[in-house]
Amino acid sequence: WGVWQPSLQLGWRHALTDSAERTTIRFVDDPLEYAVGFDAQPDDRNWGEFAVTSTFTFTHGHSGFIEYRQRFAHDFLEERVLSLGWRIEL
């Protein structure tokens, strides 16, 4: 019926600098030119990510994939992503 290709990815991310600072913006068309400020959270400098993917190649030009990706060991963010895709050759 086709080919199944599983994969597992594991990664570690490290930020070299801490860019936590105050950011100030102004809107271009604001006649009063009010400034809006945001205090950025300190960066989490180390975290990991893993993903499990299954890719399928079927007969008659069909292929698809499904992927689950998750961030771990991050101080203030939780992220989980489920991706699906399908392709048909015409």
**Residue pLDDT, tens place only, 16-55:** 776 667 788 888 888 888 888 887 766 778 899 999 999 9
pLDDT top residue among 4 and 39: 4
Residue 51: predicted pLDDT: 98
Q: Nearest 10 degrees: CA dihedral of 55, 56, 57, 62?
A: -110
What residue segments make up the domains of the chain, in order of their start?
A: 2-88
The answer to whether residues 42 and 76 touch, using CB atoms and an 8 Å cutoff, is: no
Residue 7: predicted pLDDT: 98
Closest CA to 77 of 39, 42, 53: 42
Q: Determine the residue type at 82.
A: L
In a 3-state reduction of DSSP, which class is residue 9? strand
The per-residue pLDDT for range 46-89, each reduced to its tens digit, is 899 999 999 999 999 999 999 999 999 988 889 999 999 999 99
